Copies of this chain bind each other. A is one copy, B any other.
């Protein structure tokens, strides 16, 4: 039986010349053209996929003889973990209903994914609020970790953020969070899980160091650009004061 896509190609092949349709295309600012396809297509014409979002698919075909210098597809997912400690040296911790920690008896920091277009320091405040109902103020990035081959081959950047609590009554989210509480920091650090897994042990150690004495994290400083944007620059605000 002939497949639908074969039929599709045959139908195009036998079109009379006066019925041949040009793709609708617009020139882009890089000297190329963007073709907005109304129809599905296969990849027989030298095109390859560049990337897709939920409502569109981008195909690319590099015409010059020179090597392809198309911008790379996005390569990283970005996440945050939130270290929130109150004046009694208790840290805000949760147990998760799903994912890697499901069923494990581990109290962990609130964590979450930074949305496209969202600032890391804003995402940390949002995730803490969503999971525990606690309001916070962003203080510093204490550390970050880069891992590879996470979801579908993509890499992951995970930022450990220190936040100062502005409220204290926990209202946990029901769909993702099994339990939430304030826990003495030493009890958090000494959990068996944290002592068995090096990256958790190091991160817990960094947070304990920060709680006890001097530890130089990175502050978040909005930095105006000529295009009117205000991206955050993260650096040692203790050692460099631009104003």
Q: Is the CB of A236 within 8 A of B223?
A: no
Residues of B within 8 A of A24 (CB): none
Q: Which residue of B lies closest to A54 (CB)?
A: B48
Interface centre among A19, A152, A221 (most CB of B within 10 A): A152
Which of A84-120 touch B at CB < 8 Å?
98, 113-120
Q: Kindly specify which of A127-135, A140-148, A161-169, A178-186 makes contact with the partner chain.
A: A140-148
Asked if A173 lies at the interface with its beta carbon under 8 angstroms from chain B, I say no
A97–B38 alpha-carbon span in the complex (Å): 37
How many residues of chain A get a CB closer than 8 Å to chain B's CBs? 91
Enumerate chain B residues within 8 angstroms of A218, measured Cβ to Cβ: 143-144, 218
Check if B151 sits within 8 Å of A71, measured CB to CB: yes
Q: Check A75–B76 contact: CB distance below 8 A.
A: yes
B40, B152, B231: the one contacting A199 at CB < 8 Å is B231
Residues of B within 8 A of A242 (CB): 201-202, 205
Q: How many copies does the complex hold?
A: 2
Tell whether, in the assembled complex, residue B52 and residue A117 are in contact, meaning their CB atoms are under 8 Å apart: no
Give the nearest-CB partner of A225 in chain B. Answer: B199
Known: A49-B53, A147-B229. 8 other contacts (CB 8 A): A1-B19, A5-B38, A5-B40, A7-B7, A72-B77, A119-B148, A198-B225, A199-B223
- Say yes or no: A75 contacts B206, CB within 8 Å: no
Is there an interface contact between A78 and B77, defined as CB atoms closer than 8 Å? no
The answer to whether A235 touches B40 (Cβ under 8 A) is no
Q: Does A240 contact B (CB under 8 A)?
A: yes
Most B C-beta atoms less than 10 A away, residue of A56, A155, A175, A214: A155
Q: Are B72 and A74 in contact, CB atoms less than 8 angstroms apart?
A: no
A206 CA / B51 CA spacing, docked (Å):
36
Q: What would be 6 A-B contacts, judged by CB atoms less than 8 Å apart?
A: A5-B38, A49-B55, A50-B52, A76-B76, A197-B226, A202-B235
Point out the residue from B7, B115, B146, B226 that lies within 8 Å of A232, measured CB to CB.
B146
Which residue on chain B has the smallest CB distance to residue A221? B202
Enumerate chain B residues within 8 angstroms of A1, measured Cβ to Cβ: 19
Q: Which of A71, A153, A196, A240 has the most CB of B within 10 A?
A: A240
Instruction: Evaluate contact between A202 and B223: CB separation under 8 angstroms.
Output: yes
